[in-house]
Amino acid sequence: MKKLVVGNWKMHGSRASNAELLQGLVSADLTVTAPRADVVVCPPFVFLSDVAAALKGVAISVGSQDISAQAQGAFTGEVSGLMIRELGVKYAIVGHSERRSYHAESDQLVAEKAKSALSHGLVPIVCVGETLAERESSQTEVVVARQLKAVIDTLGDQLVQIVVAYEPVWAIGTGKTASPEQAQAVHALLRAQLKAAMPQAAAVPLLYGGSVKPDNAVELFAQPDIDGGLIGGAALKAADFVAIARAA
């Protein structure tokens, strides 16, 4: 199976810096230099249109960092899957830990967002992960299982169409990566939970995210249940992001 390497730009970028970053990715000719990776970039909403246009004809897909659970209506400030689908966007990250914690997104809301993404032809990248306090109190398994269960219960047979990203909150932007063994252990649990819900869902791609860098990507991607990465900080530097795609 090809690895999936997704760049989450978070709230970074400008038209000028995006153009430079994209130029670096396009000139790296990833289909040739990283043939074993499918690559996606997720800029802020306002840049989706520009980025999708700049990547037309290039084998790099575009994703959003969030979507509304609603299709349209009186939801000031929200952006729906219906709208971004029109721009040629293919993926939508939902349930990133920064959304869960700063915007109080519940497991159920995240599940509704995943469902909404699918209903508009987008592939949801559903993030799950425990905080440091939860890990230290041995709650990791319980927390990620609870987060994933809401999605399983809400999606039914559509479960096979999603991507899941395991992102331990304590590893995001901290420079502390989960060790390949720690990540693999959680991925194996997520795989088993998906499979128990629906045998075909064992094929759902499982990404690892949290301080993935060129120098740890090879080892992480070598784990049997790690199918790719969700990359934050390192996705903002073309050379690093390309090196991570090549690590696949």
Positions marked catalytic: 96, 167
- Give the number of other CB atoms < 10 A from CB of residue 44: 16
Degrees, nearest 5: CA angle 227-163-94: 130
Smallest gap, in angstroms, from Cβ of residue 32 to ligand PGA? 25
Non-local (6+) Cβ contacts of 115 within 8 A are 69, 154, 155, 158
Kindly tell me which of 93 and 197 has the beta carbon lying closer to ligand PGA.
Answer: 93
Smallest gap, in angstroms, from Cβ of residue 212 to ligand PGA? 5
Kindly tell me which of 83 and 172 has the beta carbon lying closer to ligand PGA.
Answer: 172
**d(C-alpha 208, C-alpha 201), whole Å:** 17
Smallest gap, in angstroms, from Cβ of residue 96 to ligand PGA? 6
Given a contact cutoff of 8 angstroms between Cβ atoms, the answer to whether 121 and 133 are in contact is no
Given a contact cutoff of 8 angstroms between Cβ atoms, the answer to whether 119 and 111 are in contact is no
- Name the site residues for ligand PGA (rule: CB under 6 A): 8, 167, 172-173, 209-212, 230-234
Kindly tell me which of 159 and 230 has the beta carbon lying closer to ligand PGA.
Answer: 230
Query: Which residue sits closest to ligand PGA, CB atoms considered?
Result: 232
Residue indicated by tokens 């390192």: 234
Smallest gap, in angstroms, from Cβ of residue 200 to ligand PGA? 27
Non-local (6+) Cβ contacts of 236 within 8 A are 7, 9, 12, 13, 21
Kindly tell me which of 43 and 232 has the beta carbon lying closer to ligand PGA.
Answer: 232
Residue indicated by tokens 């209903």: 119
The DSSP code for 221 is H
Kindly tell me which of 8 and 68 has the beta carbon lying closer to ligand PGA.
Answer: 8
Smallest gap, in angstroms, from Cβ of residue 231 to ligand PGA? 5
Residue 11's nearest CA partner among 71, 66, 49 is 66
Residue 128's nearest CA partner among 195, 40, 210, 200 is 210
Tokens found for residue 124: 């949801």
